[in-house]
Amino acid sequence: MFLSDIQEMLKLKTWAVVGATDNQEKFGYKIFRCMKAAGYEVYPVNPGVEEVMGEHCYPTLADLPVRPEAVDLVVNRRVGVKVVEQCAELGIENIWMQPGANAENVVALAKEKGLKVIHDACIMTEILYQKG
Give the Cβ contact number of residue 65 at 10 Å. Answer: 7
Mean pLDDT of 90-118: 96
Q: Mean pLDDT for the chain? A: 94
Q: Would you state the pLDDT for residue 131?
A: 67
CATH number of the domain at 105, please: 3.40.50.720
Q: Quick check: 67 and 91 in contact, CB under 8 A?
A: yes
Instruction: Please report which confidence band the pLDDT of residue 99 belongs to, taking 50, 70 and 90 as the band edges.
Output: very high
Q: Which residues contact 111 (CB under 8 A, 6 or more apart)?
A: 117
Number of domains in the chain: 1
CA–CA separation, 124 vs 111, rounded Å?
Answer: 23
**pLDDT tens digits for 28-60?**
999 999 999 999 999 999 999 999 999 999 999
Instruction: Please report which confidence band the pLDDT of residue 132 belongs to, taking 50, 70 and 90 as the band edges.
Output: low
Q: How far is CA 113 from the centre of its chain?
A: 17
77 falls within a domain? yes
Which domain, by its residues, includes 28? Answer: 3-45+70-131
84 falls within a domain? yes
CA–CA separation, 76 vs 101, rounded Å?
Answer: 5
64 falls within a domain? no
59 falls within a domain? no
Q: Would you state the pLDDT for residue 126?
A: 94
The answer, yes or no, to whether residue 26 has pLDDT greater than 60, is yes
Q: Would you state the pLDDT for residue 35?
A: 97
Which of 14, 23, 68 minimizes the C-alpha distance to 50? 23
**pLDDT tens digits for 69-98?**
999 999 988 899 999 999 999 999 999 999
DSSP H helices, 42-112, are 77-90, 104-112
Which of 22, 25, 8 minimizes the C-alpha distance to 94? 8
Instruction: Please report which confidence band the pLDDT of residue 4 belongs to, taking 50, 70 and 90 as the band edges.
Output: confident
CA–CA separation, 121 vs 67, rounded Å?
Answer: 24
57 falls within a domain? no
In the Cβ-directed half-sphere of 130, how many Cα atoms lie within 13 Å? 17
